[in-house]
Amino acid sequence: MADYDVIVAGAGVSGATAAAMTGKLGKSVLLLDRNSALEPGKKTVWGWVCGDAVAQSHISFVQKNLGNTFSESALGLKVDGVMALSPDLGYKLPFEGEGYSLERPVFAKSLFDEAIKNGAEFRGKFSVEGPLIEDNKVVGVFGKNEKGEEEKIRAKITIDSLGIASLLRRKLPENQYIDKEIDYEDLELTGRFIYKTDGSFGDQRYYDKKNALIHLNQQMAPGGYGWVFPKTGGRVNVGLGVQHKSLEMRNKKLGTNDNLKSLIEKYVKWNPLFKNYQLDNSDKNGEGYWSVSVRRQMEGMVYPGYIGAGDSMASANPLSAGGIGPALIGGIFAGKTAAIAVESGNNGLEGLWNYNVDYVNHYGKSMAGMEVFRIFLQSLTNEDIDYGMKSFITYEEAVEITYGRIPELSLTKKVAKLVKGVGALKAFKNLLWTTQRMKELNGIYADYPKSPGEFPQFKKTVISIIDEAKARMPAGPI
């Protein structure tokens, strides 16, 4: 006998959203988290570790489904967009459209309050340790309650919103849909600080009140990037992500021993914005480290009795590492799918499959292509990136790529003649190869399997293209 229709494990961005949606659709839902109700969505002991940037379109999607969920104080600062700068700071290309620099703890609380308002029951200080499995179906979770006692809770459907290190995903029975582990090379090790500045600094290559800035630089942030995102009141969210392998290669070549923390310190020193600044440690959220996945989302995100949403499914955008939007979208669709499946009494693979289809159609369809572009970027040196941003792609083409659409690279033929040097030529050829593979992957995802039977061939094809990209364009930061 199930105790609830739905258990949502994890009350972060995706979990609170899923619980709010399930509750709105009239199903009984239990929301579990290891934090108390006073700190919803706090990821780790380090706080709500995030860059806090999210596109307007994702917020609108939530509002459309849940109503007016967010206060102004939750949304924070409105920004025009994200700008990626070349290593020599000579070129800027836009990334996604307008959005917000969120006040993350307030934002998380808004979603949590929405879930409670819609009838979700919350149990805090509950540590989820794994799924309850019966006859190859997830029938609930087990874990330790606030008294430290082992407890089992049963539900018709369990939504996994435990984040990247999810113990539910990692303890699923062996299956072809969801990878239990995320490859280390597909993770970005990230860290960030929230600093208070006087907000008057004027050089927009380093700080822009109206745009979130991304600094591409394979020496400063090997295999990743540094960021300076403006917040209200002259505060900034400054951080950096690296790929472990690229960092090792870079250290070896330069004879250095840098780690994530030392790289962030150097990045802050490098930026002239940080002359007079201090840590804003409100909510003890001023400094933190955590990982983000930059692979495509899991090819399949359901298992009998189980739906995964957000970081537990590696759903952050492989190019930008933006995971808030995908977590919101996953939460909405997971809540809807769970409610429909409870209604129909079909919580098996077939009953939940539509979640994959809806998610892929709405957002996930271009993520595998983005992953190939990320692999391409990680293979380039600073000189290649400088040259490429100047010569290979136009402003408009860059916008297309960041939305996952594939430009025709109209200037291709002309530019090819101009390409100078062996390195640049190789990079250019790889760019062409990359856009072809992106196109191919987008086509494959446009035809996402409508039922589990078609899945094995789909997955095989996707993985073969990703593997080919990794073999063709190995990391080469320096």
Ligand X SMILES: Cc1cc2nc3c(=O)[nH]c(=O)nc-3n(C[C@H](O)[C@H](O)[C@H](O)COP(=O)(O)OP(=O)(O)OC[C@H]3O[C@@H](n4cnc5c(N)ncnc54)[C@H](O)[C@@H]3O)c2cc1C
Smallest Cα–Cα separation from 328: which of 48, 63, 43?
63
Distance separating alpha carbons of residues 52 and 126, to the nearest angstrom: 26
Question: Interaction with ligand X in 169-228: which residues (CB under 6 A)?
Answer: 190-192
Question: Interaction with ligand X in 383-442: which residues (CB under 6 A)?
Answer: none
SS3 236: strand
CB 416 within 8 A of CB 437: no
Least CB distance to ligand X at residue 192 (A):
5
Task: Return the range that interacts with ligand X (CB under 6 A); candidates 13-21, 88-96, 171-179, 426-434.
Answer: 13-21
Distance separating alpha carbons of residues 346 and 421, to the nearest angstrom: 60
Helix (H), strand (E) at residue 395: helix 395-402
Neighbouring C-beta atoms of residue 199, cutoff 10 Å:
15
Could you say which of 20, 30, 52, 375 contacts ligand X (CB under 6 A)?
52
Residue in the shown chain whose Cβ atom is closest to ligand X: 323
- What tokens appear for 384 in the block? 């290649």
**Please, which residue, 242 or 368, has the CB nearer to ligand X?**
242
SS3 421: coil
Neighbouring C-beta atoms of residue 434, cutoff 10 Å:
23
Pattern of binders to ligand X over 275-314, x per CB under 6 A?
Answer: ---------------x-x-----------------xx---
Q: Is 327 in the site for ligand X (CB under 6 A)?
A: yes
Could you say which of 84, 115, 128, 375 contacts ligand X (CB under 6 A)?
128
Q: Is 53 in the site for ligand X (CB under 6 A)?
A: yes
Could you say which of 324, 393, 406, 469 contacts ligand X (CB under 6 A)?
324
CB 246 within 8 A of CB 477: yes
**Please, which residue, 10 or 222, has the CB nearer to ligand X?**
10
Least CB distance to ligand X at residue 16 (A):
8
**Please, which residue, 322 or 335, has the CB nearer to ligand X?**
322
**Please, which residue, 43 or 250, has the CB nearer to ligand X?**
43
Q: Is 334 in the site for ligand X (CB under 6 A)?
A: no
Residues whose CB is less than 8 angstroms from the CB of residue 25 and which lie 6 or more positions away in sequence, other chains included: 335, 336, 339
DSSP-assigned states of every residue in 47-97: BS-S--EEEHHHHHHHHHHH-S---HHHH-EEESEEEEEPTTS--EEEES-
Helix (H), strand (E) at residue 465: helix 455-472
**Please, which residue, 12 or 300, has the CB nearer to ligand X?**
12
CB 322 within 8 A of CB 55: yes
Strand intervals (E) in 402-459 = none
Task: Return the range that interacts with ligand X (CB under 6 A); candidates 37-45, 258-266, 357-365, 400-408.
Answer: 37-45
Q: Is 49 in the site for ligand X (CB under 6 A)?
A: yes
Q: Is 131 in the site for ligand X (CB under 6 A)?
A: no
**Please, which residue, 167 or 341, has the CB nearer to ligand X?**
167
**Please, which residue, 311 or 397, has the CB nearer to ligand X?**
311
Helices (H), 192-243: none
**Please, which residue, 93 or 168, has the CB nearer to ligand X?**
168
Strands 53-55 and 137-144: unpaired
Q: Is 251 in the site for ligand X (CB under 6 A)?
A: no
Could you say which of 15, 87, 300, 351 contacts ligand X (CB under 6 A)?
15
Q: Is 477 in the site for ligand X (CB under 6 A)?
A: no
Task: Return the range that interacts with ligand X (CB under 6 A); candidates 61-69, 267-275, 321-329, 438-446.
Answer: 321-329
- What tokens appear for 459 in the block? 């997955």
Strand intervals (E) in 360-457 = none
- What tokens appear for 372 in the block? 């190939």
Report how many residues bind ligand X under the rule CB under 6 A: 40
Distance separating alpha carbons of residues 128 and 120, to the nearest angstrom: 18
Q: Is 33 in the site for ligand X (CB under 6 A)?
A: yes
Q: Is 329 in the site for ligand X (CB under 6 A)?
A: no
Smallest Cα–Cα separation from 470: which of 263, 294, 247?
294
C-alpha dihedral sign at 352, 358, 361, 363 = negative
Q: Is 47 in the site for ligand X (CB under 6 A)?
A: no
Least CB distance to ligand X at residue 101 (A):
8
Least CB distance to ligand X at residue 214 (A):
10
Task: Return the range that interacts with ligand X (CB under 6 A); candidates 7-15, 172-180, 271-279, 420-428.
Answer: 7-15
Could you say which of 7, 50, 120, 249 contacts ligand X (CB under 6 A)?
50
Smallest Cα–Cα separation from 90: which of 298, 305, 385, 354?
385
What does the binding site for ligand X look like in residue numbers (CB under 6 A)? Answer: 10-15, 32-35, 41-43, 49-54, 127-128, 161-163, 167, 190-192, 239, 290, 292, 310-311, 316, 321-325, 327
